[in-house]
Amino acid sequence: MVQTEPEVFSAHKFIYDTLEKEATKHLYDGSEEYFNSKPFLPEYYDEKKIKRAQHFFEQNISSMLLVSLTGLILMLSYPRGIKLLLATNKSSEPLTAYKRYRDTMKHMVSWYRGDFTVGSSLYNSLLKVRRMHNAAVRLGLKKGDDFNIDQALMGSTAYGFFGLALAKQKEFGLSSASDEDLEALVHFWRVIGYMLGVDDRFTICRESLKETRDICIEITNQVTEYLYLKDPGSLMLQFAILDGNNLVIPAFDSNLFMNFIYDLCNVKPELYYPMTTHQKFLLTMIKRSFESMNYSLIRRFFNSRTRYIIYLIHMHPEIIEHNINDTDLLTLI
C-alpha cells in the first residue's frame, strides 16, 4: 500500500482558497441565538496560555499597541474590507475616527486584562462588540452583497491586532519574545475570535505558530500590494485615524507615520510622502525608537508612558477631551 505524504501547509493557499474562495460564502452570524447555541468557551481553551498571553501584553504594552495601530492602518488598505466603514461614514473624520479607534483599543485592553468568565468586564466587552457586529451585519444586508460581513473578513481581522508581532517581530521591539509567548498570543486571539463568532475553519490563528506566522507574513505582503494602489477610500480612513491621533498628540505626524509603514513594508521610495531633511531624520528616529524596545530598560520606560496614557483614557477622559482643543498630551507625561 502506497503511503501518501501529508499535505504541506501553504499560507498562500489558505488565504486564497480557504479565506477568499470558501470563507466569503459564509456570512458572519452575530445573533444572540447563534452564541446561545454554543459553549461560552471553546474546548481547546487553555487558561495557562491565556494568562501567559496577558502577561506578555503587559510586559510589551507599547509594542503591542503600536502593532495594533499599524496593523489596523494596513488592514484599511484592503478595499473590500472598508466598504461598510465608508458607507457608515463614522470613521472618515479625525475626531470620529479617533473615538472609534479609542473605543477599539479600550476593548482590546480589557480583553488582555480581563477574566474569561460570564459577567466579567471582558465578557461584557465582548457582548457589546458582538452586538455592534450584528448591527453592522444587518446594515450590510440592507445595502447589498458588496457590503456583507463574511467569515473571511472576520477570520482575518485578528491580523490587525497581533499579526505584525509575528511578521515584523524585531521592528516592533519584540525580539525577546519566545515561541511559547507567541504561541500563547496566537491562542489568545483564537479564543477571542471564537467568542466573537469566527468559524475555526477560517481563523488565521492556527495551532501551529509557524503556520500562523506564515499567514501573517502572507497577509502583510498582500496588503503591501494594496498600498501601491493608494485607494482614495483607504487613504481617507487611514489618515482620519492618524490625524485623529494627532488631535491628542500634536507631535504625531500622519505623513511621517505612513512613510514609516511604507518603510516597514519595503514599499518603493516613490510612494513615500515628501519629507524634509528633518522629517527624514525623524523617520529614522521613529524606527530606532521602536526597535530600541528590544532592550528591557527602554521597553519599561515606554511601557510606563503607555500605561499612563491608558489610565487617562479610562479614568480621566475629560483630560483627553480637553487636550484635543488645547494642550499636548506629551506635556502631561
How far is it, in rounded angstroms, from Cα 156 to Cα 158?
5
23: cell is 470563507
Percent of the chain's residues with pLDDT above 90: 53
140: cell is 450590510
The closest of 236, 190, 202, 148 to 23, measured between CA atoms, is 202
Residue given cell 531633511 in the structure block: 277
Give 105-163 as a DSSP string. HHHHHHHHHS-SSTTSHHHHHHHHHHHHHHHHHHHHHHH-GGG--BHHHHHHTHIIIII
Classify residue 30: in a domain, yes or no.
yes
Range in 21-30, 61-70, 151-160, 185-194 with the lowest mean pLDDT: 21-30
- What confidence category does residue 331 fall into, taking pLDDT thresholds of 50, 70 and 90? very low
Tens of pLDDT, residue by residue over 103-133, are 899 999 999 999 999 999 999 999 999 888 8
- Partners of residue 27 on adjacent β-strands: 150
Q: Which residue has the higher pLDDT, 331 or 200?
A: 200
Classify residue 290: in a domain, yes or no.
no
Residue 293 exposure: Cα atoms within 13 Å on the Cβ side = 30
Classify residue 310: in a domain, yes or no.
no
Q: Which residue has the higher pLDDT, 254 or 81?
A: 254
Classify residue 300: in a domain, yes or no.
no
**Which domain, by its residues, includes 30?**
11-239
Classify residue 221: in a domain, yes or no.
yes
Q: Which residue has the higher pLDDT, 189 or 24?
A: 189
Classify residue 252: in a domain, yes or no.
no
Number of structural domains (the chain) is: 1
Tens of pLDDT, residue by residue over 37-62, are 888 899 999 999 999 999 999 999 99
Whether residue 332 has pLDDT greater than 50: no
Classify residue 333: in a domain, yes or no.
no
Whether residue 287 has pLDDT greater than 70: yes
Largest CA distance in the chain: 77
How far is it, in rounded angstroms, from Cα 47 to Cα 32?
25
Q: Which residue has the higher pLDDT, 39 or 330?
A: 39
Classify residue 156: in a domain, yes or no.
yes
- How many helices (H) and strands (E) the chain has is answered by 17, 0
For the chain, the average pLDDT equals 86
Tens of pLDDT, residue by residue over 225-258, are 999 988 899 999 999 999 887 776 656 688 999 9
